[in-house]
Amino acid sequence: MAEAMAWRFVLECWEVLREAAPFVLFGFFVAGLIKALLPDAWMTRHLSGRGPLSVFKAALIGLPLPLCSCGVLPAALGLRRKGAGPGATTAFMISTPESGVDSLAVTYAMIGPLMTVLRPLAAFATAAVAGLAANLLPERAVPSPAQAPAPMPDACGCSCGGACAASAGQPGLGARLRDGLGEAFGEMLADVGGWLLIGVLVAGGVSVLLPQGLLAKLPGGELGSMLVMLVAGIPLYVCASSSTPIAASLLLKGLSPGAALVFLLSGPATNATTLTVMARTFGAALTGVYVAAIAVCSVIFGLLANRVYMALGIDIHAAIGQVNEVLPAQLETASAALLLLLVARALLAARLRARRC
């Protein structure tokens, strides 16, 4: 009995990985192109000031970037020191971990096109609300590198936020593309790759251990299930990519699409360690705005998501089984093997880089 369950767990995990792998690889390829074509100076110029336009720009710029809640902190602190406003910084810190081209590709593959649209829209609106609220707070001095607490090590183990060395001069397009793709399949993949694999394992465990329809009977009805997902998601460390297979498995066990969206928004954007470092770096007031905006907006968009699915007559539990079969099995298997090799390579390189840092 135990051997049969263990073998079923392995098969479930492999199936989840196989379905997600081609879309993860495509997402990181697009992320590399974005990194190569979007100069840091351009981002700093458009995110400066306290106006609402900078907040909206920051929320939009953060959507496609595949950084987790730990990895985005050093990047946000760097933008803040270069002149980005508090609202823009806050919006960037929310929209970036809640979304990403990699996670959206996996969402399309595992949950469906409607959730692929709702997820970034909710992330953008949450980031904009938090950023506009942050601009109403009193100005707080930005800590200098010597005063600020050291950024926590991200999943790659490097606490320097990818800034161990600065490149001299402005490289050409070919060099930028090479560096961008190298960073996407290097530091970025190391940042979320390990957590993606953990998400696959959790999704396999949910599929094997939870009875069918269990999550449809949570106490409190619609709102109760969302609050359960919110309480579970805020302290938990999951990146946007790893949260997707978990959410898909929970949906198959009867969770509503709105409650799944609450988990997809709150889980990647927060965790206990991130909030501790945020409070020390940006202050308790801004951290409170950050958490409150995520909590309130997640539930609101969860309620809206349920209404949208009902209005369109879409049964997400039936649709999930159909969206998985979109690519040839051979391509999925080869992509899964390639992704495992790339994650192992990225994590090994990150450990060596962390020692040098």
**Segment-wise mean pLDDT, segments of 10 residues, the chain, 357 residues:** 82 83 79 74 70 90 77 72 82 88 86 93 95 84 50 44 45 82 82 77 76 64 87 77 84 89 89 75 86 94 95 82 66 90 89 78
The candidate with the shortest Cα–Cα distance to 294, out of 125, 121, 171, is 125
* pLDDT attached to residue 141: 56
Q: Which residues are CB-neighbours of 252 under 8 A, at least 6 positions away?
A: 207, 212, 317, 320, 321
* pLDDT attached to residue 145: 47
Dist CA 123 CA 166 (whole Å): 31
Looking at the DSSP bridge assignments, the partners of residue 48 are 84
Amino acid at site 84: A
* pLDDT attached to residue 324: 52
Burial of 80 (0-12, 13-18, 19+ CB in 10 A): buried
Note the pTM of the prediction, 2 decimals. Answer: 0.73
DSSP state of 214: G
For residue 206, give both structure tokens.
């949910």
For residue 204, give both structure tokens.
């396999």
E-assigned strand segments in 153-263: none
For residue 49, give both structure tokens.
């000031």
* pLDDT attached to residue 152: 46
The candidate with the shortest Cα–Cα distance to 293, out of 107, 148, 87, is 87
* pLDDT attached to residue 328: 80
* Count of CB atoms situated within 10 Å of the CB of 39: 12
For residue 175, give both structure tokens.
């060099």
* pLDDT attached to residue 70: 64
Hunting for tokens 């790339």 — which residue is that? 342
Q: Which residues are CB-neighbours of 161 under 8 A, at least 6 positions away?
A: 71, 73, 74, 75, 77, 78, 151, 154
Dist CA 275 CA 291 (whole Å): 8
